[in-house]
Amino acid sequence: MPEAIQVLLSALVGAAAGAFATAYKSRKELESLYDIELPRRRIDTYAELWKLLEPLADWSPPGPLTYGRIGRLSQALRRWYFGSGGLFLSHKTRAPYFNLQEALTRLSEGRPEGDSTVLDKDSHEVLKALGSRLRTATTDDVATRVDPSLAGRFGSRLLKTSRSPLSIQVDRRWDFERRPPAAAFFTLLGNRSDEVIEIKDLTLDGARAEETRFLLQPGEEREVKAPIKRGGPRPGETPKVTVTLAGGRQVSSRETPDVPLDTPELELFAPSR
């Protein structure tokens, strides 16, 4: 090969390698800026959301929770969402936001804007729990309640080797697809492993969930619904969730749900309302 061609090829290879290195460095710098800017913008946006959720405070709320107040709260959350908040909600935070918005909207619809009727204790507690779950999801997005990064990485490696690959969380809300709406349990399943998990069956205190056979991808979360059986659970009793995996293995949970279980049926949507 003539020396001139070798020199030309070497120059082309060097130029290509240099261009690749420059592009790679630029991309990494952009990713780094994105990773820094997104949490900062989320913190500013979520701070506004926290202010709006003050009526659902556990301690020293600003006043009684009335139907008029939750209607105004739903409207304020809508303005926040379309103003800027919806742009920054993560995939995990969207579900808690829309669960709360659905409850606020359905409970207040058809009532006058200034309705001063105070919500019953059970409804109030459910809304507070939904608000708490939304706040918790926002803190997870911006990692404001985690240990320093080095300790977190070390601790997460230890935790990953010891914890169950399947997380189970129980919630109770209203099933607005039924007419009239009725109380129902919602079980949030999370795949904390690096492998696909096949779910063959799910029961909650013996009541079979509506969706029982599906695959959970690594890192995926899915919410499934199960009706509340008449006569149970008793007040203060935590329901038992049993998940059957492929191969017959069963995983159960009796973790305390985020909302109280004062009554087996809610009378929130009676025709006499």
Nearest-angstrom CA–CA distance, 271 and 273: 5
171 by DSSP, 3-state: which? Answer: strand
Q: Which helix (H) or strand (E) holds 170?
A: strand 166-175
Among residues of the chain, what percentage have pLDDT more than 70? 68
pLDDT of res. 115: 92
Residue 21 has pLDDT above 80, yes or no: no
Where residue 25 falls among pLDDT bands split at 50, 70, 90? low
Residue 54 has pLDDT above 70, yes or no: yes
Residues 6+ apart with CB under 8 A from 178: 184
pLDDT of res. 59: 83
Are 107 and 123 within 8 A, CB to CB?
A: yes
Nearest-angstrom CA–CA distance, 186 and 174: 9
Torsion of CA 104, 126, 142, 23, to 10 degrees: -60
> pTM for this structure?
0.62
Range in 37-41, 124-128, 165-169, 233-237 with the lowest mean pLDDT: 233-237
